[in-house]
Structure 1
Amino acid sequence: MRIGELAARAGTTTRTLRYYEARGLLPARRTGNGYRTYDEDDLRLLTQIRTLQDFGFDLEETRPFVECLRAGHPEGDSCPASLAVYRRKLDELDALLGQLSAVRDTVARQLARAELAAEAEAPDGPEPRCELGRHPW
């Protein structure tokens, strides 16, 4: 298939495919007249790249998965290098979750403090609170 068809089937643009080619992630096969040509294996590579990017992996982090597929493995994550990327990404996500949790706790404390201050400053006393919309966290 030609580049336009591959881009359409992968849900991306021809510009993106050329970029992947320049980065060495997509093979650069050409016909005699210079047209790029691709096959179903290339579509698998693109699907792997796009899925990982949707999960927050940067383009370079997809390389071990692509290389694993190119080596003939049925899945891009069955090679040791791919597993190492998964482990690093999980560590990164755990750290981000910890940071988000700490920020959330700080915001909750600030909200509680601000609500108490607002109630104390209200001229007619505290306003009635609607508990239906309050979140359990």
Structure 2
Amino acid sequence: MNIQQISKEAGISKDAIRYYEKIGLLHPKRSDNNYRVFDQFDLERVKMIAVLQYAQFDLKEIKVIVNSIDLPPSDECNRQVAALFKAKNFELQKRIRDYQLILQMVGNFRLPESSEEFASEKEEYLLQTMHLISDVFAKIKGGEEWKSM
């Protein structure tokens, strides 16, 4: 398949696919006229990259994981990939807990029934909102330095 076809099949832009090749994540074959030729393995690799990016792995981490497929099996390679997955698992579990707190906060907002009710109790609504946000912020921050996303 050509770059247009793999782009459409994977839902990834052609520029992203070219970039993945440039940084060594993809290694498509070349035709006689030097066009990229992708196979099913390349498509699965692009999908894997997309899933890993969605899971918040950065491209450096993704390169280690994806390129480990091409390496001969070794204990060092296994340790390196396992360490990346273990660290990401911990990070994602924390993010899930944080999102659960945020969902709880959103569910606990007491919203006014009308603009008149809001106008008459504006200060109370704002104070409640600030308390909820402050409480969730403190729980998410958990004594660690706040990282903006």
Describe the SS at the equivalent of 2:69: helix
Measure how far apart 1:92 and its partner are: 3.1
Matched, 1:79 2:48: no
Structure of greater Rg: 1
Count residues with an aligned counterpart.
109
Measure how far apart 1:100 and its partner are: 7.4
CA contact (8 A) 2:2 2:36 kept: yes
CA contact (8 A) 2:28 2:42 kept: no
Alignment of 1:11-26 (within 5 A): 11-26=11-26
Measure how far apart 1:72 and its partner are: 7.6
Measured in 2, the distance between the counterparts of 1:46 and 1:100 equals: 28
Counterpart residue identity of residue 19, structure 1: Y
For 2:38, the equivalent position in structure 1 comes to: 38
Tell me the TM-score normalised to structure 2 length.
0.56
Measure how far apart 1:9 and its partner are: 1.1
For 1:133, the equivalent position in structure 2 comes to: none
Measure how far apart 1:79 and its partner are: 3.4
Structure 2 gaps, min length 5: 104-120, 122-149
CA contact (8 A) 2:52 2:62 kept: yes
Measure how far apart 1:52 and its partner are: 1.0
Measure how far apart 1:64 and its partner are: 2.4
CA contact (8 A) 1:48 1:65 kept: no
Higher helix share: 2
Identity %: 30
Q: Deviations over 1:48-94 (max 9, x none)?
A: 11111111212221112212333488xxxx93322111112134345
Alignment of 1:81-100 (within 5 A): 81-93=80-92
Structure 1 gaps, min length 5: 105-121, 123-137
Tell me the TM-score normalised to structure 1 length.
0.60
For 1:29, the equivalent position in structure 2 comes to: 29
Structure 1 residues 55 and 96: alpha-carbon distance in aligned structure 2, compared to 1, 3 A threshold: closer
Measured in 1, the distance between the counterparts of 2:92 and 2:36 equals: 38
TM-align CA RMSD: 3.2
